[in-house]
Structure 1
Amino acid sequence: MVLIAAAVCTKSGKTLVSRQFVEMTKARIEGLLGAFPKLIPAGTQHTFVETDSVRYVYQPLEKLYMLLITTKASNILEDLETLRLFARVIPDYCRSLDENEIAENAFNLIFAFDEIVALGYRESVNLSQIRTFVEMDSHEEKVYQAVRQTQEREAKNKMREKAKELQRQRMEAAKKGGKPSFGGSGGFGNSTGYTPYQVGDVANTNNDIKPPSSYSSSIPQKPVSARGMKLGGKSKDVESFVDQLKSEGENVISPNNKMSQGLKAPAIKTNVDEVMLRQEEKLIVKMYRDGGVQHFELLGLITLHIGNEKWGRIRVQLENNDSRGIQLQTHPNVDKELFKLRSQIGLKQPQKPFPLNTDVGVLKWRLQSTDEAHIPLLINCWPSEAGDGSCDVNIEYELAHTNLELSDVTISIPLPIGCNPVVAECEGNYNHIARQNQLVWSLPIVDASNKTGAIEFSAAKAIPNDFFPITVSFTSKNSYTDIKITEVSLVDDDSPVKYSVEMVQFPDKYEIV
């Protein structure tokens, strides 16, 4: 088939979104779209109409039409199948089928249309793939975000260092009994002899720095004129700076008038676990509806975060009892021999510490297979056509790996446009999302106690192909592999270090097609 253009228009003939796929003048396209409302025959059930040069294939969507303009030589059956896919895309991006919603999401619709048709010919894609392609992550954007976060961290570190420096100058001046001199634009001098709040007064970011109240009694008190700035007074500049620090997530101690009387400032709480490890496993699964695995991939990663420099020189002990043949790979700076011989993660140069306040990936692994035995959660879908044009659908899940506990399991089943399913039986909960034409089957927990379950429903005016692809999502705090973090110790004396481990497993993509 050769598809000339796709458009969404009102029943009065107003074009809301139009995308052409072949070389043609704007005037020609506008003329074809303008002629369409006049060609629709009244009182007929046909969904296409032909002229001497083109064919209009359309489908009503409440007050709108989804319209395809093709050549007369195109296959009408392929035209209708393509039209159904276009019509399913619109509710996926628009909450309601009205003019304002279509106009607001016009660019998303155009991007989706471009994934369906290229140079006038239909691409072999389904609705799930269209969503994936349209929402594809940008590598350049990730690089930009990473650079920006690095710059922000550096700026915050510089701010902390400056705060420490100003605080030290203030403390030295207080011990000498003189006025602190900060010099340049860093100080706010005044005629009264008092120095207003500096960064160190309001942003104590290190527990080693004592608040000004601890030594304020040793500063010689001088008479303050009526126009002078009081010690506990707040200036607009200081307040705005404090608000900015709070918005960036910094711990800020608000100035208190009682601090000048020698009262202690409230202590800043620190994280008890200075060594944090995250073990993350991501699944990519694609199964055939009739059984068999098209693609299975497991990607694992252990990241290390150190919040205190005294725990920078450490080693992490692992226990690996996996027998599936996963491929392990350590970070280039990790000692590979140490890992092979003792299953320990440590730096090649033990005298150097791990980076501070940074998530560092130290070990990753991968497993690829087409063996169904590796699939943790099996989904079996049986749609059966009835004599009245409807379908009876039975879907069953089975937890193949009973050592796992899956939380927030969601199985999303696509439905024909305008379908209102009648659920006869369901283990768990279900929700019909009409806007997205989906039936969402959800189970809070799937484990060995309820390793199987089923849902049964019927749908009018449907064919078996309407209920695919089925997508699955869940989370789990169990590891798919038998890799465990057992101990963290210092490099110097092998003494144990307190640490915390966060384990998470989730599917990046889990489909039955």
Structure 2
Amino acid sequence: MVVLSAFVANKSGRSIVARQFRDLDKNRSIELLSQFQTEFTNNKERGNFIDCEDSHVRYIFKPIDDFYMVLITNLQSNIIQDVKTLNLFAETINSLLSLLLYKSPNEHVPLKSTDEELISVHAFDLINAFDEIITLGYKENLKTPQILNSYNMWCMEETWKNINDESKERAAKENRKRDLENMDRRRRSGGYQNFNIGHGQGADPNVLQEAYNSYYSHASESARESFMHSQENKVEQQKSIPQYSYEQPEHRYNEQEEIHYQSDSISTEAQIEDPENSTGLMFIVKETISAQLSRDGDIESSELKGTLELRIADDSFTNVAIELEIENPKDKKYNFKTHPNIDKASFLNNGILKLRDSKKLFPSNDQALGVLRWRQVGTADDEQLVPLKLVTWVNPLDENKFEITVEYELNEKYQSLKECFFIIPLSEYGTSEITDLGDFNEGEIVIEGYDSSQGLVIHANEINQQQGVFTITVDNVESEESLFPINVTFVNLSDDVSTSLSNVAVSKVLNENDEQIDEFGSYVIIKSDDYNVV
């Protein structure tokens, strides 16, 4: 579709405001506008369009109250698209004229024939709106609100800046008002530190003597006696008036007025040292577990990140091939990633880790070298990646006092966990007590104290039962929801490779002559990262 021109016409078809979008000379434009007036008067019964075969144009028009919105297109233009464009013109012009003439952008105000002169006054505003809709004869993909925003030069950044400036101005006014109120309050309450009430109090006697010498010294005897008598009466009256004084009371510091609450910073990260490399060749499978458990013990989410580390302290083991016990190295649920210097094809096809370049050697500095990484995400209620399941029972005892019973169960691969912390997000102003040790012996589970950034810290030296329970009582707690989430940290070291939650283990090690190496150490370390009961 190509729109040659658009204009607003009155009831008789005479154009009021017109805009050409293609290269048309003045005479041709005037001819087309005049021709519409003639054809419109003679062909009103034909509908909302007029085809002029002689001029090779089509007029499409639509009434806007007492006026008409008219488009001039060529005969080859798609009339359906032209009608949509005409409707957009009519809607935009109607809204714009309501805004310009009656300051009512949100409500439709009927246009009257008497508004023709006002429309002519706002001709350039209408032309600018026409240019937003049509560019070089082709319609832009815009809607009426966007066109009006562009016409009003509305800008998101400017709007936010104005809102921010107004907010700052209101805040400054509030601060100024508050400061004035504080100053007035201090002025009313403070008063004078010391003041006396009395007539003539503090008058300088030299001034009185000077006044007497300047006037009464030359007066008659009776006048001098009258002046002296009046001064004596004033002195007696001042003595009879009680004197008042005000002194601001001294504030005495009371040691009980200020109470400092102190809390110690407690390390809740379970620590464990790497085992000693006594054989000269050692492998450590390190697995970090994140999980979110419900209070009922359901597993909402779980994730495991694993690393296979190699430590070599003997030069004779610097060129080895490591065969892993993995069902399918290409299994995407593990997302295995090998070290850049490891032969990836050998691992994916045969499950063997060896150097890509046979001329290179593994370092023998007895430092941990990660040769394989993997990541596994468990599904809901998948217990495979969760070494410790927890069920919490909360029982209200009194107002702001609760009893928390924690029931735990170890994964079937584990008989114990070396160290574990339970962190309950309590305020330090509350008190707590382990009221039931359950399956723990005395001293195996204790309350370490409060940490200002974490909460109540409970430390279990070792969980050596497959399942068990313990109970703690806390008070000064707002609600049950303030007891959660309970954060759990733990760590465990085992020389049993079957304790790997992802079932990754070293099954065989070969030297450069493809001879099997029997003596090597293999360990599994699991550690929690983001382990919570919500």
TM-score by length of 1: 0.45
